[in-house]
Amino acid sequence: MAKKTVASLQKGAGKGHAKVIKMVKSEKTGAYTFEEGIVPNEMVQEYFKK
């Protein structure tokens, strides 16, 4: 599935965006979860600072 998502972003204006995955630790259980998002290339560093 991920290949289709990434491939569809490579058409036209999609090259200006990146798929990002961030690992976040839950404060309740201590388990890690993954957050995915599609952000403009200029905002990638800001996404990981949140």
The pLDDT score that the predictor gives to residue 10 is 60
Helix (H, G, I), strand (E, B) or coil at 27: coil
Please list the alpha-helical segments (H only) found in the chain: 2-9, 44-49
Q: Which residues span the domain enclosing 28?
A: 2-49
- Average pLDDT along the chain: 82
Question: Which pLDDT band, with edges at 50, 70 and 90, does 4 fall under?
Answer: low
Question: Which pLDDT band, with edges at 50, 70 and 90, does 15 fall under?
Answer: confident
- pLDDT tens-digit readout, 17-38: 899 999 999 999 999 999 999 9
**CA distance linking residue 1 with residue 29, whole number of Å:** 29
Q: What percent of the chain has pLDDT over 90?
A: 52
Count of structural domains, the chain: 1
